[in-house]
Chains A and B, each alone.
Chain A
């Protein structure tokens, strides 16, 4: 055999050896986590991982659940639905996890869902916004993030105070962006606002000047913007360069105003942001003490402050699962599923309690998260005037 064949055989052996490593000891409680840890949205996935690790460490510091430590088994879905399904399969079959938290994007969650049904394992959905996730009749799904419609309803009370008369939309061309445009469009129309342009941008696009030039021509007063923080930064900078002169409202809770102040600077001034966590004033959150403790722990670990608006989701997801395991009294998938219907706890975002959603008989769980609006004023994050006066 030549030298090259030896290298080849070695490679195959490494692969085989890796496949046959036996599972770890059975003592700790296993929770599976599926997040996009590499690829274009790696930052968000990693913040959620950091939040989940805080929840894990807190639970373990308090002695675990019924004396058993919690162990997170973290898998990367690479922002690819195929990988999300593979990761779910691996976690359920090889690692024997009785419950999963995942899988960030809606298409990743939708791809993992048949696996949950196949093996009967519940998943707590922490980020995905597509309405269809809880409407499909998959009784293993429990969502703590708001679908776009719920978020739009949460904003409805502030529409008049924001002074939205003529609105344009710019959103990332994914289920999230499209869902947000239709939900917020319907809600705003109902409130009597005129809807102008509905523009999209590719997930990886960096130059949005064409869309902005078009939006500028509609003569509206407000721009609703739905995408990840990187693209929001770029849109704000480019809007400033083009003198767009609009009130900007970002939706989806992924805007991380702190990062915007840092990276978009003056271009972010005056913009409004729908968020699900306000780390700038934790005391204003439903459970001020918990929120404060989370912010402090985050800082202590040296995680970037701007990641908090994503990271809390990881904490709340794991806290929800831990509570369910405690209620169930055992780490079996079906028992945890039943227990998830009974949990009622306080997360960093606020109260978590699942309501039935979807076709009768096989409903999914949907919690009703708290929704907040903040504004960037004088280079700082503040409550908008109409809220601060309360």
Chain B
């Protein structure tokens, strides 16, 4: 993208609440932003470190519950609760990273699914802590000094800041020595190891950073919807994140964000375009078509078609074993 394009995009983002006044659209944009953070987070593990986490909703949910519980039961204010949500999710990421040290591909997938399953069952059954299946209604809206971020426009800026921060962290990480180590790991692990990449260290690091970002997304979600229930651990949330990353273009910085915007807008567009019987059927079919025609994701495909070499998009294979 040219400098002009970037500048225009940034200007459009910053002024968005002024020209997109309809609160429903703003709601969709905020949800897209929250899922953008989540998709960026998953992309670190899946796109760069080459490890598919199908338990990502666990980190998201841990963030949401931590933030909601601390503000509701301990009456913390939003910012320390947000920090705690990020920290606790990161700790969970560390545990998963350590547990899954020796596991790759399909086995890593299953450990993460199982971990999310256990956490989800805890949220349903540990009534004293989590209020069980009834969930936690009335999560307070965040404050910034004397201002309440209760309005949609204000919350939009909070989410925009979180997306920008996550994007910056990913970009910084990916372009550093650490990022090159991730990619080396993904492309050829034995080779990476032989040239002195500390595989264990970098995998745990990837998991921790990724989980922390998912925790951030969870906290933002809790204070936006004002309600947290065990459904935040639903497998469909993880599936949505995976769809966003892979369809957008994994292993690219912009891909997950494009995916997040597209796949948050799509169900809402279908709400308007089709009656309810056809919405999910259309969603599934469109997904199949999209992957079928753009198997490497939207962003790599666009990059490839603009550079004139349709087949030169960078490929990344996630080894199974």
Q: Do chains A and B touch in the complex (CB under 8 A)?
A: yes
Residues of A within 8 A of B (CB): 1-5, 7-8, 11-12, 14-16, 18-19, 21, 37-38, 74-76, 78, 80-82, 85-87, 89-90, 93-94, 106-107, 110-111, 113-114, 130, 132, 136, 173-175, 177-179, 200
A132 to B127, alpha carbons, bound, how many Å?
Answer: 15
Q: Kindly specify which of B88-96, B102-110, B131-139, B189-197 makes contact with the partner chain.
A: B131-139
Task: State whether B27 touches A89 (Cβ < 8 A).
Answer: yes
Q: Kindly specify which of B179-187, B198-206, B269-277 makes contact with the partner chain.
A: B269-277
Closest to B151 in A: A118
Q: A residues within 8 A CB of B280?
A: 38, 76, 78
In chain B, positions 288-307 with a C-beta closer than 8 Å to chain A are 289-290, 293-294, 298, 301-302, 304-305
Task: State whether A82 touches B231 (Cβ < 8 A).
Answer: yes
A295 to B302, alpha carbons, bound, how many Å?
Answer: 58
* A contact patch SS: helix
Q: B residues within 8 A CB of A75?
A: 271, 276
**What count of chain B residues pass the 8 Å CB interface test?**
48
Q: Which 3 A-B pairs have the closest CB atoms?
A: A93-B24, A18-B273, A175-B134
A85 to B268, alpha carbons, bound, how many Å?
Answer: 12
Q: Quick one: which of B124, B234, B294 contacts A8, CB cutoff 8 A?
A: B294
Task: State whether B134 touches A21 (Cβ < 8 A).
Answer: no
A75 to B22, alpha carbons, bound, how many Å?
Answer: 19
B38 at the interface (CB under 8 A from A): no
Task: State whether A4 touches B301 (Cβ < 8 A).
Answer: yes
Query: Given the known A-B contacts A38-B280, A107-B231, are A93 and B23 also in contact in the complex, defined by CB atoms under 8 Å?
Result: yes
Q: Kindly specify which of B11-19, B48-56, B221-229 makes contact with the partner chain.
A: B221-229
B84 at the interface (CB under 8 A from A): no
Q: B residues within 8 A CB of A37?
A: 276-277
Give the residue among B229, B262, B294, B302 with the most A Cβ atoms within 10 A: B229
Interface readout for B1-32 with A: 1 if CB under 8 Å, 0 if not?
A: 00000000000000000000011110110010
A132 to B132, alpha carbons, bound, how many Å?
Answer: 13
Task: State whether B22 touches A93 (Cβ < 8 A).
Answer: yes
Interface readout for B98-139 with A: 1 if CB under 8 Å, 0 if not?
A: 000000000000000000000000001101000011110110
Query: Given the known A-B contacts A5-B305, A76-B279, A89-B27, are A19 and B269 also in contact in the complex, defined by CB atoms under 8 Å?
Result: yes
A42 to chain B, nearest CB (A): 10
B315 at the interface (CB under 8 A from A): no
A118 to chain B, nearest CB (A): 9
Task: State whether B27 touches A86 (Cβ < 8 A).
Answer: yes
Q: B residues within 8 A CB of A15?
A: 262, 265-266, 269
